Amino acid sequence: MFERLDEIQQKYDQLSHQLGNPAIISDPETYQKVAKSHAELQEIVEKYQEYRRLERGIRDTRQLLLQERDAEMLAMAKEELAVLEARLEECQEQLKRLLMPVDPNDAKNVVLEIRAGTGGDEATLFAQEVFRMYTRYAERHGWKVEVLSAHYSGVGGLKEVIAMVEGSRVYSRLKYESGVHRVQRVPETEASGRVHTSAVTVAVLAEADEVEVEINPKDLRIDTFCSSGPGGQSVNTTYSAVRLTHIPTGEVVSCQDEKSQIKNRAKAMRVLRSRLYERALTAQQNRIAQDRRAQVGTGDRSEKVRTYNFPQNRLTDHRIGLTLHRLDSIMDGDLDDVIDALITHFQAEKVKSETAA
């Protein structure tokens, strides 16, 4: 590991030198590439430099323990040594995580799909609230959310919503949100005050580039129909809505958000391409590392990943045993503590599995 870190340090120093080279500065395209490579290595290099400083601090403190005779100074040095050794161990674990292969999808936009599950109207209302939660979270991070398709229930909830979330490293933050999200609360229609349990499913798909998923036009069936709004009423009389059916896989995508059939078709293709990309990734992961996937976690949609308990203002993520008693702020998009904990957990699991392998 440390040989690799030394190589990264050398590469970083070379890039730093190049950033000061007038010939590179005068070439915007080359400068941008060098600056990007430099930025990608910066976090690892800074953490490695911190590790080396801690090592020097430990050596100096141990030397002091050998030379010092004053009891008070000895006690202080021992206490300082324990702190430095703990920080060194933590720093080493962080370096291991930073050196793990980067998920190539982390920088991508995502297709977010939320569907009401068991629970009838209450599930559709919760689906709407979950979608609002992610929308508010996106606003906090400066991301753009574009609804591609939405189907409403009679009470104003969402039976299904499909949206594109665009921004900086969206997939890296949302990729562990896939799964069954369960809600426990008293529905507004419940006269006896009894707590009901409902569920929605969340799917987070990395948006696939055209070069990654090639769709043969002959494999597509394209249907057009009139757009409809909440309650099923027609919102226009033109056949602007589009339904794509990928015949080999049976995947069906509908889009009616735009008044233009061409725009709806383009949006539907983005969703279809991402779903087919997800299929290909899942199949590959099943073939190559089924046991490792079980350790690292996949966010499989069949897993009950999280419970939202409104009477107790409590959120519990069952995968990592995390419980927070501030559900109100989480539903308003304050999700960073949850997502940071998930990322830390799954990165640690990945480090363990790689080390064991």
- Domain layout of the chain by residue ranges: 2-99, 110-356
Q: What's the confidence (pLDDT) of residue 287?
A: 57
**Single-letter code of the amino acid located at 212:** E
Query: Is the pLDDT confidence value at 144 over 60?
Result: yes
Q: How are beta strands 110-116 and 144-152 bridged, if at all? A: unpaired
Q: For the chain, how far is it from start to end, CA to CA, in angstroms?
A: 15
**Contact 138/112 with Cβ under 8 angstroms?**
no
What tens digit of pLDDT does each residue of 155-191 get? 889 999 989 999 988 999 999 999 999 999 988 767 6
Q: What's the confidence (pLDDT) of residue 305?
A: 92
Share of residues in the chain with pLDDT > 70 (%): 86
Q: What's the confidence (pLDDT) of residue 217?
A: 82
Instruction: Look at 35-49, 73-87, 255-269 and tell me which has the smallest mean pLDDT.
Output: 255-269
CA gap 272, 278 in Å, rounded: 10
Q: What is the CATH number of domain 110-356?
A: 3.30.70.1660
Over residues 23-48, mean pLDDT? 88
Q: What's the confidence (pLDDT) of residue 199?
A: 92
CA gap 205, 299 in Å, rounded: 11
pLDDT-derived band of residue 299, with 50, 70 and 90 as boundaries?
Answer: very low
Share of residues in the chain with pLDDT > 90 (%): 37
* CA 114, chain centre distance (Å): 15
pLDDT-derived band of residue 237, with 50, 70 and 90 as boundaries?
Answer: low
What tens digit of pLDDT does each residue of 75-130 get? 998 999 999 999 999 898 888 777 776 777 888 889 899 999 988 899 999 999 99
- Please name the helix (run of DSSP H) or strand (run of DSSP E) that holds residue 1, with its range, or none: none
Q: What's the confidence (pLDDT) of residue 260?
A: 75
Q: What's the confidence (pLDDT) of residue 352?
A: 67
Q: What's the whole-model pTM score?
A: 0.63
Fold of 2-99: Methane Monooxygenase Hydroxylase; Chain G, domain 1 (1.20.58)
